[in-house]
Chains A and B, each alone.
Chain A
Amino acid sequence: MNPLAALGGLGRAVLTLFANFGKVAIFALDAISHIFRPPYYPREFAVALMNVGWLSLPVVGLTAIFTGGALALQIYAGGARFNAEAVVPQIVAIGMVRELGPVLVGLMIAARVTSSIAAEIATMKVTEQIDALVTLSTHPMKYLTAPRVLAALITVPILVGIGDIIGIAGGYVVATENLGFNAATYLLNTVNFLEVKDIVSSLVKGAAFGLIAAVMGCYYGMNSGRGAQGVGRATKSSVESAAIMILAANFILTGVFFSV
């Protein structure tokens, strides 16, 4: 492929993303409205809670602990350049809670949950299972989308909270074991420094990212093209779009909470 054509392809992909944005927004509102309107499917909701929440815990924990540890090392090294090594607990706490916790958990959920929702629903679409649902008087938006979106909306903020704590713990272990911090002082500095607003912003971001992750998976699954290729494309696009939208939403929410 010549470079110009490649660039054109890239431009088209970006344009389609924006064109899709309106459709996605309508889909998201529709999905949310079905959460509140019966019939409800408690069994499907329970399964979604399990898949989105519980089974994501290992990934979230591992991501957070390594990130928190690395953060402590970096801040210590950076702070040492102007004799500010002591700020490690404060910056680790703020970095994890405000930014890295929500963003990294959000991205891991996009990788884990968005992809699996998109692939599952897309496969159902191409094997006519969605059509079969409709003929059995079952609304796919209620049966498939609503339980997954609600589960993500509830569990991802919790996962982010857990990720924040584990991340801080990772920083704490590195700082007290390797960098010579006093354990009690480290904890005290962390707790005293964090504000309610930091924690609230973290959880709000978690809810927003959970919503994005589930909606993108459902949207691309429901609109999948035909055959195995259709499923592959739907999965890829869903993760790509979810990741980008999570990062964009993070930027906007950070602005809303912390500018001024």
Chain B
Amino acid sequence: MIRMENVTKAFGDNQVLQGMSLEIPKGTSMVIIGGSGTGKSVALKCILGLIKPDSGMIYVNGKDATKGDRDKFLARFGMLFQGAALFDSLPVWQNVSFRLLRGPLKRPAEYAREIAIEKLRRVGLKSDVADRFPSELSGGMQKRVGLARAIAAEPEIIFFDEPTTGLDPIMSGVINDLIREIVTEMGATAMTITHDMSSVRAIADNVAMLHGGVIQWTGPVGQMDASGDPYVEQFISGSAEGPIEAVR
């Protein structure tokens, strides 16, 4: 379980998070929606400890996420970054099985390669991609390699930052199904950021809307359409009219 309590974060005088509170029960899939630049990525990075919040508390499985053994803490996490963040000095397969090629989890290279190819297949990539370098792939392919890397170690908690942005509708469907599958089969706790409403409906158990640095609305995905919340309604309809300004 993940719990954020009153988390605030500012960059200079840019107040990004202004008291964000959110709870994600174990083994469920939470989707965060909200306009671009509202701080969704910052929120994920706060939980991972990549960004230090100015105030507020973050708990993972009841323990303060900012204290304790970081390596052990991060060993349970998988993260897909918004820009994929692949290591461009390494070929694709070494990106995917990065953990297996060095450090405490080191395995023979052939084994690591097999695992990488299997994970690549799961995100809809053929094995001939394995030996290419990230810079030789399209944005959508890089995103999927990033996804394969995030799930490679079968983590308990997985964060996906805009997993389907830049993908065609068919590939989006494949990725949505995969995320759903990871949650139901592996029992993982997932937190996904997306702007794609069809993704929201396919992936989410619960939805939270971030706006103005706080969670404006949160609830089960089934209640989203009848939320009565003007922010959520505007986001779903994609209208320029409403409480969310079109110029931000």
Contacts and interface: CB of A to CB of B under 8 A. Distances in A.
A25 interface: no
Contact of A135 (B79, B83, B86): B79
Interface of B: 45, 48-50, 71, 74-75, 77-79, 81-83, 85-88, 98-99, 102-104, 149
Given A129-B86, A132-B86, 14 more contacts: A41-B102, A128-B81, A129-B85, A132-B81, A133-B87, A134-B49, A134-B74, A135-B50, A135-B79, A136-B99, A137-B71, A137-B75, A137-B99, A138-B98
A131 interface: yes
Secondary structure at the B interface, as helix, strand, loop or mixed, is: mixed
Contact of A131 (B81, B86, B103): B81
Contacts, number: 49
Contacts of A137: 71, 74-75, 99, 103
Contacts of A227: none
Interface string A97-130: 0000000000000000000000000001001110
Given A129-B85, A132-B79, A138 B45 contact: no
A198 B74 CA distance: 51
A43 interface: yes
Interface residues of A, number: 15
A39 B102 contact: yes
Interface of A: 39, 41, 43, 124, 127-129, 131-138
B22 to A, nearest CB: 20
Nearest to A41: B102
Contacts of B45: 131
Nearest to B161: A128
A43 B71 CA distance: 21
A51 to B, nearest CB: 11
Contacts of B81: 128, 131-132
